[in-house]
Amino acid sequence: MNPTQTQAGQPPLRKTRSQPRGRLLDVNALETVNQLLGDASNARDRLIENLHTLQDHFGYLSMPHLRALSERMNLPMAAVYETASFYAHFDLIDEGQTPPPDITIRVCDSLSCQLAGSEQMHKALEMGVNPDQVRVIRAPCMGRCDKAPIAEVKHRHVEHATFESVLQAIRQQDFSPAVVDWQAFKAYQAEGGYRLLNGCRQGEVSVESLLTLLEESGLRGLGGAGFPTFRKWQFVRAEAGPRYCVVNADEGEPGTFKDRYYLERRPHQFLEGALISAWAVDAKAIYIYLRDEYPSIRQLLREAISELESEGWIEPGYIQLRRGAGAYICGEESALIESLEGKPGKPRHRPPFVAQKGLFGQPTLVNNVETLYWIPHIHEKGAEWFASQGRHGRKGLRSFSVSGRVQTPGVHLAPAGITLTELIDEYCGGLLPGHQLLGYLPGGASGGILPASKADIPLDFDTLQSEGCFIGSAAIIVLSDQDDLKEVAKNLLAFFADESCGQCTPCRVGTEKMLSLLGHPTWDEPTLESLAQVMMDASICGLGQAAPNPVTSLFRHFRDELIQAKIIVKG
């Protein structure tokens, strides 16, 4: 009888498998992965760190090595693959595919770099290098907008990049991150650093007095949301422990680079602020989530944390430095926590909020780098000192990341409530010669676009909403009469379409559809307005909700210019 046949009245025999489902384990690949990872932890939250180790070593991620990693970490292959494929900085190579060349050039295509000529440089590099030896790809904002255009050759950034300077970087074969001159522990302590932290630990400063100080100073979250710092701490303290402290150092908003500025210069002032916040909420540990585009800062923070450990200020491992992998969405606090747990960075539905159920399901305090940076300074100089710095009825100081058509771009510490006109004239050296102000982005890609006629509005939280804009992380991109508004809008929507996590349909489909509509010679204003409303009403997180802002603000503030350019038809 044939093996597949059965006797009458009996069910057919099932075929048996000769091997398990899915990709087979390559024992040589497993041995290689074990050698590379050594005694690294196999906990799920270490998945992205382990993926970075493989990516850094090979220059890509192969399927046999991913399968070996899933075996080592006792994770489903589907979970490993889903996480690896989510992040832009991981290169997945399937069987039969050719690995990328050893050298990858990433050319920033965000708005500040586009204004500075990155598109032309990208085309020149594509034409001028051997594709078998060098790969040229586009990349979103690298947090160096004041030095635009930017190119990254492996792990080294080339500022004010040109075709020639990028090729020179390749010829020199020096791809390590640039060395940063930072203030080390002894120098910071000599000027009074860690005095406040010591006072907190010794009982000289109470949590209640510190909360009162922060409330009186008016310090708010400086990552973009602007939530009062003291109130966020109170919410987390009200929850039962254990609690965690998470630092958002993933400033991916195009036009934003203030956190990099402070981390490069005074990392210990930031770390003291972080440790004070952890003390205030009795945190079990601190997790710093640093964007992957800052390799030099990753090195200096490791050294600074090591200094704290060797000096006995913290137990080894109390501060965990984790590395992002190229995902703007991880600037959203719940997506960031998902990423810290070794998963794709997709925002969570709320409630519960992360203050109630955050990292590892525990109450979590999430603060931005600059917010924590100011805490020791405010305590030293007093709440009134900080609060009295504002202009036009506003309170505090703001670190404005200014780029675009100004003579002196950079991080400018200025009073909250300063106007764009004042900021440009007093801090930025005026506009570039031959340029006239056309408009500006007050809060990076998501904050909308305001015209030159609105350059005298105080720049701060709560002052721009009536204009359909917001300040966010205070990333100011200045536009001039030599810039094309249509191309500006297309650049910003292309960024959002590329960075959407894809979890919700309004954002995933809406950003792509809006970008497609912007590519038409004439814009369909009713359709764009309707689409924008759906995205704002139904998207899960701020990315999809804010993505239409560049377009809606152009309709609101630049209608005459759009009609004159025949981009929209006068109704």
Rounded average pLDDT over 21-29: 85
Asked whether residue 375 carries a pLDDT value surpassing 80, the answer given is yes
Rounded average pLDDT over 490-514: 96
Asked whether residue 15 carries a pLDDT value surpassing 80, the answer given is no
Rounded average pLDDT over 513-518: 97
Contact 414, 436 (CB under 8 A): no
Q: Which of 3-7, 156-160, 274-278, 552-556 has the lowest mean pLDDT?
A: 3-7
Please tell me the CATH code under which domain 103-172 is placed.
3.40.30.10
More reliable by pLDDT, 13 or 241:
241
Judge residue 504's burial from the number of C-beta atoms within 10 Å of its C-beta, 0-12 exposed, 13-18 middle, 19 or more buried.
Answer: buried
For CA atoms 363, 251, 62, 172, give the dihedral sign: negative
Domains of the chain, by residue range, sit at 27-93, 103-172, 185-381, 397-480, 485-565
| pLDDT at res. 130 | 94
Rounded average pLDDT over 105-120: 97
Structure-token pair, residue 251: 């400033």
* pLDDT tens figures, 39-57: 999 999 999 999 999 999 9
- What torsion, rounded to 10 degrees, do the Cα atoms 445, 447, 452, 457 define? -150
Q: How many whole angstroms separate alpha carbon 337 and alpha carbon 253?
A: 18
| pLDDT at res. 7 | 62
Asked whether residue 95 carries a pLDDT value surpassing 90, the answer given is no
| pLDDT at res. 5 | 56
* Pairing mode of beta strands 151-153, 156-158: antiparallel
* pLDDT tens figures, 175-213: 888 888 899 999 999 999 999 999 999 999 999 999 999
Q: How many whole angstroms separate alpha carbon 135 and alpha carbon 132?
A: 8
Could you give the angle at which helices 505-518 and 525-538 cross, rounded to 10 degrees?
Answer: 160
Q: Which long-range contacts (C-beta less than 8 Å, at least 24 apart) are formed by 171-179?
A: 175/103, 177/295, 177/296, 177/299, 178/296, 179/296
Structure-token pair, residue 54: 């493989």
Average pLDDT, the chain: 94
Contact 55, 76 (CB under 8 A): no
* Pairing mode of beta strands 151-153, 103-108: antiparallel
Structure-token pair, residue 157: 């950034």
Domain 185-381 belongs in CATH node 3.40.50.11540: yes
From the list 199, 281, 272, the residue with the least C-alpha distance to 232 is: 281
β-bridge partners, 245? 286, 365
CA geometry: angle at 382 spanning 381 and 388, to 5°? 100
* pLDDT tens figures, 295-318: 999 999 999 999 999 999 999 999
Which fold, 397-480?
A: Ubiquitin-like (UB roll) (3.10.20)
* pLDDT tens figures, 313-364: 999 999 999 999 999 999 999 999 999 999 999 999 999 999 999 999 999 9
- For residue 11, count other CB atoms closer than 10 A to its CB: 6
Which fold, 485-565?
A: de novo design (two linked rop proteins) (1.20.1440)
* pLDDT tens figures, 443-462: 999 999 999 999 999 999 99
From its phi and psi, is residue 203 left (phi > 0), alpha (psi between -120 and 50) or beta? left
Q: What is the pTM of this model?
A: 0.94
Rounded average pLDDT over 262-269: 97
CA geometry: angle at 75 spanning 72 and 79, to 5°? 130
Class of domain 27-93: mainly alpha
